[in-house]
Structure 1
Amino acid sequence: MTDTVPPPADRPVAALAATYTRRTFSALALAFAAAAAGSRRLEAAAAGALPADLAADFGPPRPFSFESLVARAQAAARKPFAPRQVSRVAAASFDDHARITYGAAQSLPGHIRLFPTRVETAPFAVGINVVANGQARALIGSKGLFGTDRPAEAAGFRVLYPDGHADWLAFLGASYFRAAGDKNQFGLSARGIAIDTGTMPGAEEFPEFTEFWIEDKGDTASGADAGAHIVIHALLEGPSLTGVYAFDTRQTAKGTVQDVKATLFLRKDIARLGIAPMTSMFCFDEATTIDRRDWRPEVHDSDGLAIWMADGERIWRPLENPPEPRTNAFRAENVRAFGLMQRDQRFESYQDDLNFYDRRPSLWVEPQGEWGAGAVMLYAFPTISETVDNIAAFWVADKPARAGDRIDCAWRLTWTSRDLAANANARCVKIFVGPGGVPGGDPIKGATRYVFDFEGDALAGLDRGSGVSAEVDLDPKVVLHKAVGPIAGRDRQWRVTLDIRTDGLAARDFRLFLRRSGGALSETVIKSVRP
């Protein structure tokens, strides 16, 4: 693992060069809740079929295929990048935007509602096409598709539940999208691509989905497993590359699943090309020792990065709100899976009955095919606001990304409250940090106490005589105290307590796992060290 400190960030990872922020999404969500009680005209139609009163808003049918989009993206990559023009009818205020977005309006097949352009946060219009039976029809008008009669253009779209009470999937701004998990709650976001995230000042680039093709496939199954099935294609355009994506998206009882296929064409060399990127927010948790200035115990969309290595090792990197921007790279050749997880799902941990952080989904990435040599990268920068996404994770290949390259890759995204990173071994479920030494006694000067709680079936029936040890890769001279044992009164839970002399410690992090008879009993925790 390597560690570098990039220059200070002046905007959230999820900020889009004057387009879209978490604050906007939160505010729009509140506006939607208020509008949900109002009238809304949501026409039901056969899967993929356009209602008769919308036919005039669409052009004639044209043959459609993924391969045709690949050809368009490849041709575009041979031409210089041309910045898009701001929509002339973009809403000027939040109130106007909310009325246009959430007023009574018609939906497209698949319960699709359009987001309108807005001057401050989503100023660029996107193309919208409806696909059925291998034919695509382009949206050429907007009558009845927005909440007011004023002219409007689409900046993105959202997919609603059949009764229209809320949305479960949204694409809006640059290449950002997000889906609800099995607890019907939004949280972290994903992106089509990440370019130079956490490198030089101002270097990060935000390519944009410029046109979408949406195909309603109807329900995936019947009974308890019934859910929407929508296939979304998108063209990507940016200064450094072009691309085409397919998102085969299915609702299930266990969360939202998206099979993603992408083909990219590079216009320029790219220093850090992030595949399957995701962005999240981590403000603080019970291990945070800084002044929180907040009454809630924890505030975060995700609490850890999980990685499933090719050799079977499971890695857990607890997220932090760092004192300075920080990038970590975790070697992961042919990585099996990785994701930003919201492992703690107890309401008591957050005490937040407005944002419901306990319901936020995790996002698990499973490469389809072998991705080869590379690393999972984690980028974090400090924030004092829960409206700022300060966490990013993605995979970067060892092979340099060069102008003229074509890159084909595929992965599965699962948005769920289940911990897909878990296996039979124990998981780290809690971490506490404080002064070194015995509680109630004088603190050990220059030392920090780290407490790790593990839980899992692998610990069932074990006691202090079972030969369980805590393995730490620090110099024994800096480990002033180490204890491991079952937590009294807690089934399948063990605690590791470490006092580490952190003053002058060269290591920026350390690895810890539980071992018995030569085999691992737990995942490997990689914890950063703070003096």
Structure 2
Amino acid sequence: MVPEKFAKSVLFLALSLLWAVWPPSARADEPFTFDVVIERARSLAAGPFEDRSRSIPEFLLDINYDQWRDIRFRPEKALWKEEGLPFQLQFFHPGLFYDRGVTVHVVDDGHAAPLPFDPEAFDYGSNTFKDRIPSDLGFAGFRIHYPINRDDYHDEVAVFLGASYFRAVAKGHAYGLSARGLAVDTALPSGEEFPWFREFWIIKPAPEEAFIKVFALLDSPSATGAYRFLIVPGEETRMDVSTVLFQRRQGAKLGVAPLTSMFFYGEEGNGRHGDFRPEVHDSDGLQIRFSTGEWLWRPLKNPGRLDISALQAVNPRGFGLLQRDVAFDHYQDLEAHYERRPSLWVEPRGDWGHGHVELIEIPTELEMHDNIVAFWVPRDVPPVGEPLALDYVLRWTRPRSDEPPGGRAVATRLAEGRLQGAKKIVIDFEGGELADLGVDAGLASVVTVGDGARLLEKQIQKNVVTGGWRLVFQVVPEEQGKLKGVFATGRPPVELRAFLKKGENLPDVLTETWSYSLNF
């Protein structure tokens, strides 16, 4: 017979072990809070990564894109549709690229319950495999609907689908660039790691609420994270984001608030041979607001080779990938409507410390590829097991001319210079005080040329058509000297900067700083 004291000790030990491995999200009697997700992330980081890729039946992964697109969620099955709430949810079916089942919890009256997968909620179209779908398959992701354009119709305003990707639109927008929860080891020789949102908790909104709260648990071999999104659709769709990250391994390159977009070609190349459209891009530039008060604009490009720019910043006040050009005639695309793509602005809450905004431009020959990535890389990351907490706001919006900075670079064009090998750069500045300044205003330009080239000449003139000012300068490459042969793919890019000012005093700066990475 087992002694009573020993039996109680064994039972206590068993319950303690069960409490340690049973995820907090699974304890139905515990009120749901953000702390539940944070503790879940902390617990995951303390253990080995569980690879759930290809956890979906093989036959679903072998279907083609048209077959996956033929699986459609039935709108009449939308969550909360019959309750008359301002928000509705529809869901995506796993398969093809989406090789993991995602758990979705609905939080009602403070308590979370998993939303069961139901094959009957989907129309499988011409596909014949409905009877083979497991009842516990899980979802690939979900989309949020809200009457953003018309009071009588719930438009799709945000979607969470694939890895840690999500997108949103403001009123009148079409989907364009994406955001992600976290980027890990992007553009490193070791290869990029793609964290994924493995669980979601969605708070059931009240009938009068114009916002919805979404919580997410992120997992990857190198890091875990807890995320809280407060989403407010409107003329500008705003997401207040709180993140708490934990490293599984020391030394991973973490990209915070990553943005992913597409730039095929723009005005700098004067179109593309064989294509009737003058420009094709979801975003046309990276903008950064520094804590010093300086604003920087870096036009995007589709480079001939991988181009990585690290723009140092202490406590940045904002950065984003913008679609400044919103004129239809600059695209002429009646299907893609690139002029309706949103800009996405990241606004840190509090001080983020030392680090840099990293811009990665990847060469592509297809407009379907997202070849632009931007994110914040913190210099100082806590050790394994310690949290890194960062808050920020995501603004899915359209650029406004009445917001800072004043004078802006609205167009960048490149041409061959007058000397062999030289490049001519033409920048149009508009906005702020520029329109009110006459040709005799004494406007000056500051052009800085980095290592590898020298300034040949520059001039500035009033654009009487637009009211702005045009800066034209030429740069010529220096002899490579000792660098010759070091770069197997050619000479390194040359950093260029330029801005306009009134007079010779720097306080009289009139424009943002234009920045460019030039390849000869």
- Sort the TM-score into its range (normalised by shorter chain): 0.7 to 0.9
- Structure 1 stretches (4+) deviating beyond 6 angstroms? none
- 1:466 maps to 441
Per the alignment, do residues 132 and 472 of structure 1 end up closer, same or farther by CA in structure 2, a change over 3 Å counting? same
Q: Which amino acid aligns with 2:182?
A: I
Q: Which amino acid aligns with 2:465?
A: G
Structure 1 distance, partners of 2:403, 2:445, is 19
Q: Does the aligned pair in 2 maintain the 1:346–1:358 contact within 8 Å?
A: yes
Q: In 1, Cα distance between the equivalents of 2:123 and 2:289?
A: 45
Contact 1:487/1:495, CA 8 A, preserved across alignment: yes
Higher relative contact order (CA 8 A, sep 6+): 1
Task: For 1:359-438, list aligned pairs within 5 A.
Answer: 359-400=340-381, 402-419=383-400, 422-423=403-404, 425-437=406-418
Name the residue aligned to 1:115: 92
CA distance in 2, matches of 1:361, 1:383: 22
SS at match of 1:452: strand
**Cα deviation 1:396-418 (Å, max 9, x = unaligned):** 11114643331111100000113
CA distance in 2, matches of 1:291, 1:230: 43
**Which residue in the other structure is 2:326 paired with?**
345
Q: CA deviation at 1:304?
A: 0.4
Question: What is the rounded CA distance, in whole Å, between the counterparts of 2:424 and 2:385 in structure 1?
Answer: 51
**% of aligned pairs identical?**
38
Q: Which residue of 1 aligns with 2:176?
A: 187
SS of match in other structure, 1:252? coil
Is residue 2:76 matched to residue 1:99?
no
The 10-residue stretch of structure 1 (173-182 or 396-405) with the greater mean CA deviation from structure 2: 396-405
User: Which of residues 75, 86, 89 is equivalent to 2:55?
Assistant: 86
Give distance in 1, aligned partners of 2:223 and 2:145.
32
**For the Cα contact (< 8 Å) 1:128–1:139, is it kept in 2?**
yes
Number of the residue aligned with 1:12:
none
Q: Deviations over 1:206-226 (max 9, x none)?
A: 1110011112435777xxxxx
Distance 1:104 1:307, change over 3 A: closer
Match of 2:432 in 1: 457
Provide the C-alpha distance between the structure 1 equivalents of 2:477 and 2:350, rounded to a whole number of angstroms.
42
> In structure 2, what is the Cα distance between the partners aligned to 1:327 and 1:495?
28
- 1:210 partnered with 2:198: yes
Provide Cα deviations, 1:281-339, integer angstroms capped at 9, x if missing partner: 11100102695542211111100000000010000011011111111111110000000
Matched with 2:420 is 445
Map 1:248-397; keep pairs closer than 5 Å: 248-253=230-235, 255-288=236-269, 292-397=273-378
Partner of 1:74: 42
Aligned residue in 2 for 1:441: none
More deviation in 59-68 or 401-410?
59-68
Within 2, Cα distance between the matches of 1:454 and 1:470? 11
In the alignment, the residues of structure 2 paired with residue 404 and residue 425 of structure 1 have an alpha-carbon distance, to the nearest angstrom, of 44
Q: Greater CA radius of gyration, 1 or 2?
A: 2
- Asked if the contact 1:220/1:251 (under 8 Å) is kept, the reply is no
SS in 1 for 2:396: strand
Secondary structure at 1:72 match in 2 = helix
Cα distance in 1 between the residues matched to 2:518 and 2:70: 49
1:159 aligns with 2:144: yes
CA distance in 1, matches of 2:499, 2:160: 39
On the 8 A contact 2:446/2:500 being kept in 1, the answer is yes
User: Paired residue for 1:511, among 489, 497, 501?
Assistant: 497
Unaligned stretches of 5+ in structure 1? 1-58, 222-227, 438-443
Contact persistence 1:126–1:210 (CA under 8 A) = yes
Contact 2:449/2:496, CA 8 A, preserved across alignment = yes
Counterpart CA distance in 2 for 1:198 and 1:329 is 12
Structure 1 pair 385–61 and aligned structure 2 pair: CA distance change class (3 A): farther
Whether contact under 8 Å (1:329, 1:375) holds in the other structure is yes
Deviation at 1:133, TM superposition (A): 2.1
Once the two structures are superposed, residues 169-188 of structure 1 have per-residue CA deviations (whole angstroms, 9 ceiling, x without a partner) of 10011100000133231100
Q: 1:507 to 1:114 in 2, by over 3 A?
A: closer
Superposed CA RMSD in Å reads: 2.5
**Deviates most, 352-361 or 267-276:** 267-276
8 Å CA contact retained: 2:146, 2:154: yes
Give the secondary structure class of the aligned counterpart of 2:330: helix
**Distance in 2 of aligned mates of 1:333 and 1:220:** 40
The amino acid across from 1:232 in the alignment is: V
Long gaps (5+) in structure 2: 1-26, 81-86, 125-129, 481-491
> 1:524 — aligned with what?
513
1:460 is paired with a residue whose SS is: helix
Alignment of 1:28-177 (within 5 A): 63-84=31-52, 86-88=55-57, 90=60, 92-109=63-80, 110-118=87-95, 120-142=96-118, 144-148=120-124, 151=133, 153-162=138-147, 166-177=155-166
Q: Residues 520 and 386 (structure 1 numbering): CA distance in 2 closer, same or farther, change over 3 Å?
A: same
Q: C-alpha separation between the residues in 2 aligned to 1:275 and 1:195?
A: 9
Q: 1:466 to 1:421 in 2, by over 3 A?
A: closer
In structure 2, C-alpha distance between the alignment counterparts of 1:71 and 1:424, rounded to whole Å: 41
Distance in 1 between residues matched to 2:379 and 2:100, nearest whole Å = 34
Q: For residues 129-154 of structure 1, what are the alpha-carbon distances to aligned partners after superposition, in whole Å with 9 as ceiling and x for unaligned?
A: 11122111211341543234654531
Cα offset for 1:243? 1.3
**In structure 2, what residue type is equivalent to 1:511?**
R
One-letter code aligned to 2:216: A
Q: Deviations over 1:442-470 (max 9, x none)?
A: xx322211110000131132123211101
Tell me: CA distance 1:274–1:469, structure 2 relative to 1, closer, same or farther (3 Å).
Answer: same
- Structure 1 residues 490 and 122: alpha-carbon distance in aligned structure 2, compared to 1, 3 A threshold: same
Equivalent residue number for residue 211 of structure 2: 229
Q: After TM superposition, give the deviation of residue 247 of structure 1 in Å.
A: 0.6
Question: TM-score, length-normalised on structure 1?
Answer: 0.81
Q: TM-score under structure 2 normalisation? A: 0.83
Give the counterpart letter for 2:441 in structure 1. Answer: S
| Matches of 1:420 and 1:338, distance apart in 2 | 17
How many Å separate the matches in 1 of 2:382 and 2:450?
38
Q: How many angstroms does 1:421 deviate by? A: 10
Give the 3 Å change call, closer, same or farther, for CA 153–147 of structure 1 in structure 2: farther
Q: 2-side partners of 1:127 and 1:284: how far apart?
A: 39
SS at match of 1:287: helix
